[in-house]
Amino acid sequence: LTQAFIQCAESLSHAEREYYKFLWSQAGVDAQGVLQGKEAVAFLSKSSLPREILKRIWDLAAWSKRQFLNWEEFVVTMKLISAAQKKQQFSLERVLEHSSANSRDFPEYEGLERAKDYLARQGVAAGPGDGGEGVGAQGPSPAPVNAWDALAE
């Protein structure tokens, strides 16, 4: 999966890359360039998604079972959150298969500038639509208890 995650991050559209870099900078990345578990929980909770959905997303994106996210895992997380916020079914396979220079998956977070506004201010075209076509197709299978619960406490 490591190579697939790297390929997903490398195939971001220009607009996604710019907005995800903004989100990464706002999320609390540490000096080692990773988003530690507690900071990740606090940041991802601003997505207003139910805790159960965030747990599933964490299981999919933090597949290596470490209690932090690197850049590539963060990118996959953003795409999964974008799909979930649009009420689309989501899966890791769908995210990895449908990432491209034309994708427009922009998650929204409480207290942070929306992609459309941020990108306009930066002079970057967001592309068609407000948030893109998304990645949804098949939903994830129910996840066993994961590290999310421990991190969220």
pLDDT of 23: 98
Per-residue confidence band for 147, with pLDDT thresholds at 50, 70 and 90: low
Is the pLDDT at 117 greater than 90? The verdict is yes
pLDDT of 151: 65
CA distances (Å), origin 93, targets 40, 55, 96, 99: 22, 17, 5, 10
Q: Which residue has the higher pLDDT, 136 or 22?
A: 22
* Pairing of the two strands 68-69 and 35-36: antiparallel
When pLDDT is averaged across residues 40-69 and rounded to a whole number, the result is 93
Per-residue confidence band for 94, with pLDDT thresholds at 50, 70 and 90: confident
Tell me the C-alpha distance between 54 and 9, whole Å.
20
First-residue to last-residue Cα distance in the chain: 28
pLDDT of 64: 78
When pLDDT is averaged across residues 121-137 and rounded to a whole number, the result is 61
pLDDT of 30: 94
Q: Which pair of structure tokens corresponds to residue 153?
A: 């406490």
Q: How far is CA 26 from the centre of its chain?
A: 13
pLDDT of 98: 82
